[in-house]
Structure 1
Amino acid sequence: MNKRLLILFFASFFVTNLIADPVPPARNKDGSLVSGILEAQFDPSNALFPLPNNLLYPTAPPIDLTTNYRPTDPDDYTDPRVALSSLDGFSTTEKWVANFTQNLGGLPPIIQPGDIDPASVVPGQSVRVFEVTTTGYPYLGVTGIVRELTPVAEFVAVAPGDGVLAIAPTSPLKQFTTYMAVLTNDINDLAGNDATPSQTYNLTKRRTPLVDENGNSTVPLFPDSLAQALEPLRQATMSMELSAASAGVNPDDIVLSWTVHTQSITPTLKLMRSIAEPAPTVIAPSGWDTSAVGGFGLADISIGIITLPYYGGIPTEENPSAPLTDFWKAEPGAYIPPFDQVPFLDPTSTNITIANPFPVPTGMQTVPLLVTMPNENSGFSKPEGGWPVVIYGHGLTRNRTDMLAIADAIAQTGRVAVAMDQPLHGVVPNVEPQLTPFYIENTPFGAIANERTFDLDFWNAAEGTLQPDGLADQSGFWSFNPANLQATRDNIRQGEVDWSVLALSLQNMDLDGDETPDLNTFDVALVSQSAGGFLAVPFAAVEPIITRMYVNVTGGGIVRSLNGGAFGPNFLQPFLAGLAGLEPGTTEYEQYLLSAQTIVDSGDSINWAAELAPRIPIVHNQIIDDDTVPNTVPGAPLAGSEALNRALGLASYSTTQANPDGVNGVARFLQPADHSSLFRPTNPAVTAEMQGQMASFIGSNGTMVVVGNSDLLVPVPEPAPAKAADEKKIGKADNKSKNRLGLKPAESAKH
């Protein structure tokens, strides 16, 4: 659109009206005189429109179903706009933002951020959100309303200041689905003036075309070129307003509307699970039991290796920083059905999308395993069908050896425990010298395996600068890479895919060297701690081998959660300040967080919770006022531990729970419990209680969780006893629910 032509048109329109008959003074809907102009910004010619927005989908080649944020350098992976432009849609969890301005008058007019009255921003009234159907890519033409989203339960809307109106989901939006936002003139400024549409949006509200069949402008004094540019927007606006009218919205009241198409979430991980195969493993006894690491000696410790397909950057002499710079890429133009029949898709695109979901392997990686097996001190011997198994997932910057602290508790349930480092994590002797014996280079496997950290050295820990210091960087330091958000997302997804390979490999795992498998893969539980839980939920959602899951101090919305906890001020915020001059509390920093969460959405626990919740029993132990994964995050309804609890449908408990169909609950530990209490007994009573709840839950096949000391927990009132007649009804309802879910123990364990 030509902004100069638009200005000339409105100037001509203004002059024409000056010499026309005088008009009555403008009034608001309530009859009061208009004393100011609150305008909803919409000027696509200057990239002024609500975000996210389907206007960001390209309509000219190359097209691969991804958005286009028009980055300055499309090859600059450090620019979040580049990463956003690799996605096939927008966030299912992040907020939408529209801007309003206040016209203070004068020549030229004085424009400032709008003074929106927060009380006038009412979800379901002045702010409406709909799930809609469209004419297809680029999802601008709305063909109908599917349903209206429910305020509070599904979204909230607020005016936090500076002319911003934000719409935030309170439950994840559906993937690869189009939504429409509609704002009305029931939004007011602080003086009571109704909001108005912008001049450009007002033109697109016309019900008749701006051009005739020959492309000539149908608007007096309106240039053909400008009319031609605005006509597609007019058609889109008309389709939105007519659809909104079918839901009871008066089109004359609409000051702004737009559509948002969400990105795909599940296809890549589900398809990667479908092609996963068992991997070679080798397990060897270490000669130690858990007494060597401060335990009770109830389990023997073994070390091992597994060879995994890898899809991220692998360092070489030519490119030692590949893990920092590279990310998953698809085979060029390898579109799957039905997208392979779409003629206009770019045959050179390597973006991972719903249409091209498979990453290309970059190599094979042989990495460490840690295994503990109950010994005679535990009172258990191997069952005839093999040892039942617990897979353990550690937290951010931790490593596989954290499992040793809970190995005795797991052994007391008669189970083997297996741990594998997350991508770019592992044992780093110069950071934790006490773990030197477990460093893979110090084992017989050193010649054929490597720590998953790759022993990267790009950070000077003493000076806090981006330069080598001759020492390997901390475990997990680069797994969340603020400078390469695609790599961050794909480190998360790599960890989830690795777990599927590990789960499938359990069936062939030989622990005692007799060349016979030793594990029962029909009885596999998952235990994860902290950020390990962010990965555990998506993994368990796609992995049928997992029959129950205990998570400890975890949450949803990984970017917002980490920024809201200690990770934010201790690492992310200073890193971004040094890298790009971004400071917390600024618009630019908020835009970075929004972009980062959007990019990692496909691997985030909050987006997989609804898929997992009906499938297996789940217990969560969280900490009140956790300083690492916060309970809640201001301004981010889908971040923190409570958001995940809601998404999983977990019921609160503070006493022993039992349910033959499986327990699904959350216990909230009071201080002095802390984020590491599961494996670090700074408060022995808390550690014992957590490990006891974990052990009782996994040991009962998910049907019970035993609370030994309820004084450590936030008390939960017991429900009043049901009357006999009600108990019959409840029993029938439970049976129906069980039948609907189809969760028979044997079926849920099949793989």
Structure 2
Amino acid sequence: MQTKLTRTSPIASLKVSNIRRLLLSGVLLLNLLLPSIAQAGRGRALFSLDTVAGTPFPSDLFAVADPTQNTGLRVNLPKPDCLARPSDCQDLDVINTLDGFNLQPRLSIPFDGPIDVTTVTSETVFLISLGDTLDPSDQGGHRVGINQVVWDPATNTLHVESDELLDQHTRYGLIVTNGLHDPGGRRVEASEAFRRFRQEVDGDYKHALLKTVRAARHVGVDEDHIVTASVFTTRSATAILEKIRDQIKSATPAPADFNLGSGGARTVFTLDNLTGITWNRQTGANPPRFTAGQLPLSLLQIIPGAVDRVAFGKYVSPDYMVHPGEYIPPVGTRTGTPQVQGTNEIYFNLFLPSGAKPAGGWPVVILGHGGLLSKNSVPFQVASTMAATGIATIAINVVGHGSGPLGTLTVRQMVGDPVTLAAGGRGIDQNGDGVIGDNEGHLAAAPRIISDRSDGTRQTVVDLMQLVHVIEVGMDVDGDGVGDLDPSRVSYFGNSLGGIYGTILLAVEPSIRVGVAGAAGELIESFRLGGAGNRSLVAGRRFLAARNPSLINSPGITKLNGVALAPPYFNENLPLRDGVSMTVALEDGTTRVVQSPVINAAPGAMAIQEVFEHFEWVSQSSNPAAFARHLQRSPLAGMPQKSVLFLFAKGDLTVPNPTTTAILRAGDLADRTIFFRNDLALAEDPRMSRNPHGFAFAIADPSALAREIARGTQQRVALFLASGGELIIHPEPARFFEVPVLLPLPEDLSYIP
């Protein structure tokens, strides 16, 4: 007989009470596990000590100690494969000489998955100041929000802009909180690497990070709400020009020379005796080639009899730029000494008023011309108005402007022989193509392309500081041994590029207390947003297409807010501030609205955004916004507050409104503005230009209304300067102006197609 073996089930052997007890325990265990199961799917903010892409950026993790710098640091970003990406490596060679990070930083925060971008606000992501590295008493505490949100799904990285221009050589903490949510509505949490770093790792960076956490607590953010953070130090922007200014002021320059004619003939002329001035511009090299034209003498008679004499002179100025290359070598911002590389003869045009000279000499305004122009054009447009108010006008060429150095001026007179003198051009054939462009020599050459206009602009400021010092030692125009210009009443007026370097000059030159900057803006953003050629010629060709490898992507933007652009086309997919929308047309025929927050879907856009960030970072030493905060709000050491006025026009295509408002925000200068409403003027007279960039200088415009607006603006500028900056009078026709600009500041483009 076969025996069948059976196995009794354990459950079957349990009593009913035990079964109930086991089931209850299982339910309790499941309830305990559910939160952990739910949390397992939460997004995490990344943190790393090793890679730029794996941690919040900027971060002092990517800097090294350098006691020669104001910040005690020098940037030390890792390089990519330089054979594959040579342009990136060239850029980093320049960036890695800086003593800190961008004053208007692009903040990048990586995650391990997607987030809900609608939860990205200045409450959930923000900066907090930890103090000035040069001022031990500054404990920081100022909170700064964010703007211009971009989410990159390809890398799960959040990019935002600082809502304010940050203070120079100052440490900041970047705080990211669990107020950010993932797409499922769950709070983002900290990574294990961030928790471990705070608990286990020691060192200076940890202590700085803990200081950030404590600072966040003071503004109401608990430590357990912080999911990732970084600490970074902003670069110095003004230090080198301050050092150079002190060098200039410590020396005594030779007097200005007015004997520029053949055989040392004096080059001072009575306007009524002039019949014409021929400018023989050097426009080519190897062999030299010239293009002749006439200077606009008739503009000096816009107000008949206001200008008495026209003088041409020169002075010697220290050159801090290396040639070839056109750059200023970096030195430590704390202990370094800028080195003079040579000297330049700087030529100037001077226009003296009619009437009896005041006892101390004529008040004088330095006139700053714009890009691609020269001392032989723009000053003629304003000298008559200034002279009618008793102000002399003096102007030099910007570095790289005024055509080549072999050009001449030939002055023809009713009584007396013609006099030929050097025109004082500062252009060069930098690229060796035999042509001297209108600003060739102003920009840095390869491999320092990223420096762009920074050093040419700073050298121009140096030349103007030297000009002020030459006026201070006595500028004897008529040769009687007495100075003809009043060194205590030197003012400034410039437009476009002239407004940009003029803002810088006003911040660092103590002897100029009054100034007017027209159409000034952040240069890099002007190139990106400009609808008047800058976007294609500068941003497209120089910044992107010329790179190796090229960053031109497709489909590119062909229209900005209805204004047609020129190729090369590209699409950076970067929004304006404050959620302001921008309509773009693309090469593929589609139209889209770019508005923060942006979820990027444009291939190649993120690489372009990074390049623009790097250019902006390097340009801070010549960024007018970085200097604007030192005009009134926080003057540099030893500097008085300045009385300033900013002119700008709605819908400026060359220097777009958001680039000017950046200056006004940085310096708290909205109340020091004259805002021209070109939209209203164009509605009244269709002959008005759709680009009002030079509205204050259009005294010879075909439109009678444009001429009236230009004269009215210039008269108010002259009265402002003559009053020592006390009088701000509404220009006529008053219906076209806001004085000051009505708030909120215009952050849109307002282009008129």
What is the Cα deviation at residue 699 of structure 1?
A: 2.5
Aligned length: 584
Residue aligning to 2:709: 686
Structure 2 residue identity aligned to 1:711: R
**Take 1:630 and 1:232, find their aligned partners in 2: how far apart are those partners?**
42
Secondary structure of residue in 1 paired with 2:695: coil
Equivalent residue, structure 2, for 1:187 = 180
> Is the Cα contact below 8 Å between 1:204 and 1:238 reproduced in 2?
no
Match among 230, 243, 247 for residue 275 of structure 1: 247
Q: Distance in 2 between matches of 1:43 and 1:91?
A: 21
Aligned residue among 677, 688, 709 for 2:733 = 709
Residue 523 of structure 1 aligns to a residue whose secondary structure is strand
Q: 1:149 aligns with which of 143, 147, 166?
A: 143
AA aligned opposite 1:85: N
Q: Percent identity?
A: 20
The separation in 2 between residues aligned to 1:551 and 1:496, in whole angstroms, is: 14
SS at match of 2:524: helix
Q: Cα gap change, 1:193/1:481 in structure 2, threshold over 3 Å: closer, same or farther?
A: farther
1:245-284 counterparts in 2 under 5 A?
A: 245=217, 247-276=219-248, 277-280=251-254, 281-283=256-258, 284=266
Tell whether the 8 Å contact from 1:36 to 1:193 is kept in structure 2 after alignment. Answer: no
Higher deviation after alignment, 39-48 or 254-263: 39-48
Residues 184-239 of structure 1 deviation map (CA, whole Å, 9 limit, x = unaligned): 12211222132133342232132xx36xxxxxxxxxxxxxxxxxxx8877666555
Partner of 1:201: 194
Aligned counterpart in structure 2 of residue 38 of structure 1, from 43, 51, 62: 43
Tell me by how many angstroms 1:248 deviates.
4.0
CA distance in structure 2 between the partners assigned to 1:143 and 1:414 by the alignment: 47
The Cα shift of 1:480 comes to 6.5
Give the match for residue 749 of structure 1.
none
Instruction: State the 1:520 CA deviation.
Output: 0.6
2:459 partner amino acid: Q
Q: CA deviation at 1:570?
A: 2.9
Partner of 1:563: 528
Does the Cα contact within 8 Å between 1:130 and 1:145 map onto a contact in 2? no
Structure 2: distance between partners of 1:157 and 1:587:
14
2:105 and 2:540 map into 1 onto residues whose CA distance is 20
- Give the equivalent residue in structure 2 for 1:411: 387
Alignment of 1:496 with 2:496, yes or no, is no
Deviation at 1:456, TM superposition (A): 1.8
Q: Choose from 310, 319, 332 the match for 2:319.
A: 310
For the Cα contact (< 8 Å) 1:697–1:703, is it kept in 2? yes
CA separation in 1, counterparts of 2:328 and 2:464?
17
Q: Secondary structure at 2:73's aligned position in 1?
A: coil
Indicate how the Cα distance of structure 1 residues 353 and 445 shifts in structure 2: closer, same or farther if over 3 A, else same: farther
User: Residue 410 and residue 450 in structure 1: after superposition, are their counterparts in 2 closer, same or farther (change >3 A)?
Assistant: closer
1:445 Cα offset (Å): 4.9
| Conserved? CA contact 2:385–2:718, under 8 Å | yes
**What amino acid does structure 2 have at the position aligned with 1:54?**
D
* Match in the other structure for 1:359: 338
Query: 1:204, 1:231 within 8 Å by CA — same for their partners in 2?
Result: no
Post-superposition shift, 1:244?
3.7
The aligned counterpart of 1:452 is 426
Alpha-carbon shift at residue 304 of structure 1 (Å): 1.4
Q: 1:84 aligns with which of 75, 80, 95?
A: 95
Question: 1:59: Cα distance to partner?
Answer: 5.6
Match of 1:666 among 653, 674, 685: 674
**Whole-Å separation in 2 of the counterparts to 1:204 and 1:49:** 12
Corresponding position of 1:661: none
Query: Which amino acid is 2:267 matched to?
Result: P
Instruction: Report how far residue 505 of structure 1 moved.
Output: 0.6
1:421 aligned residue (378, 392, 397): 397
1:61 Cα deviation after fit = 11
* Contact 1:204 1:237 (8 Å CA) reproduced: no
Distance 1:127 1:144, change over 3 A: farther
1:498 Cα offset (Å): 1.5
Which residue matches 1:301? 310
2:367 to 389, 392, 396: 392
The question of whether the paired residues in 2 share the 8 Å contact of 1:645 and 1:666 is answered with: no
Deviation at 1:253, TM superposition (A): 2.6
Contact 2:268 2:478 in 1 (8 A): no
Q: What is the deviation of 1:708?
A: 2.1
Q: CA deviation at 1:452?
A: 1.8
SS at match of 2:99: coil
- The equivalent of 2:111 in structure 1 is 100
Q: In structure 1, what is the equivalent of residue 16 of structure 2?
A: none
Letter in 2 for 1:540: L
2:694 to 676, 694, 700: 676
Contact (CA 8 Å) 1:94, 1:598: kept in 2 or not? yes
**Which SS does the other structure have where 1:179 is aligned?**
strand
**Which of the residues 638, 654, 661 maps onto 1:642?**
661
User: Once the 2 structures are TM-superposed, how far is the Cα of residue 365 of structure 1 from its aligned partner?
Assistant: 0.8
Moved more, 524-533 or 278-287: 278-287
Name the amino acid aligned to 1:498.
D
Partner of 1:590: 609
Contact 1:279 1:502 in 2 (8 A): no
What is the Cα deviation at residue 717 of structure 1? 10
1:82-122 Cα deviation digits (max 9, x unpaired): 111111111112322212231xxxxxxxxxxx2x2222122
**Aligned equivalent of 2:158:** 165
Task: Indicate conservation of the 8 Å contact 1:399/1:426, yes or no.
Answer: yes
**Of 116, 132, 138, which aligns to 2:130?**
132
Deviations 1:677-729 (A, max 9, x none): 3333322122222222222222333222342211222487999xxxxxxxxxx
| Separation in structure 1 between the aligned mates of residue 410 and residue 694 of structure 2, nearest angstrom | 23
**Contact 2:209-2:231 within 8 A present in 1 as well:** no
> Does the 8 Å CA contact 1:399/1:425 hold for their aligned counterparts?
yes
Shift of 1:676: 2.1
Q: Deviations over 1:520-569 (max 9, x none)?
A: 111111001111111112211222221311121112x3211232213122
User: Is the counterpart of residue 534 in structure 1 residue 509 in structure 2?
Assistant: no
1:175 match: 168
One-letter code aligned to 1:393:
G
1:436-471 CA distance string (max 9 Å, x none): 659xxx97554xx95222x3252xxxxxxxxx4422
TM-aligned CA distance change 1:143 to 1:165, over 3 Å: farther
SS at the partner of 2:513?
A: strand
Query: Which deviates further from its counterpart, 274-283 or 55-64?
Result: 55-64
Q: Whole-Å Cα distance in 2 between the matches of residues 538 and 606 of structure 1? A: 9
Corresponding position of 1:470 = 434
Give 3-state SS (helix, strand or coil) of 1:282's partner.
coil
User: What residue ranges of structure 2 are gaps of 5+ in the alignment?
Assistant: 1-28, 259-265, 277-295, 412-417, 553-569, 573-604, 634-640, 680-687, 744-753
Instruction: Classify the secondary structure of the residue corresponding to 1:575.
Output: helix
2:674–2:741 CA contact under 8 A, matched in 1: no
Measured after TM superposition, the shift of residue 54 of structure 1 is: 0.4
The letter for the 2-side match of 1:121 is V
Instruction: Tell me, yes or no, if the aligned pair for 1:457 and 1:470 is still in contact at 8 Å.
Output: no
Tell which deviates more after alignment, 557-566 or 525-534: 557-566
**Match of 1:301, as an amino acid?**
V
Q: 1:563 to 1:159 in 2, by over 3 A?
A: closer
Conserved in 1, the CA contact under 8 Å of 2:316 and 2:343? yes
Checking the alignment, whether the CA contact within 8 Å between 1:427 and 1:436 is kept in structure 2 is no
> What SS is found at the alignment partner of 1:132?
strand
Secondary structure of the 2:50 match is helix
After TM superposition, give the deviation of residue 256 of structure 1 in Å: 0.6
Could you tell me how far apart the structure 1 residues matched to 2:506 and 2:73 are? Answer: 29
Q: Are the structure 2 counterparts of residues 238 and 591 from structure 1 closer, same or farther at C-alpha, using a change threshold of 3 Å?
A: same
Once residues 577 and 717 of structure 1 are traced to their aligned partners in structure 2, the CA distance between those partners, rounded to angstroms, is 35
- Pick closer, same or farther for the CA change 1:703–1:80 going to 2, 3 Å: same
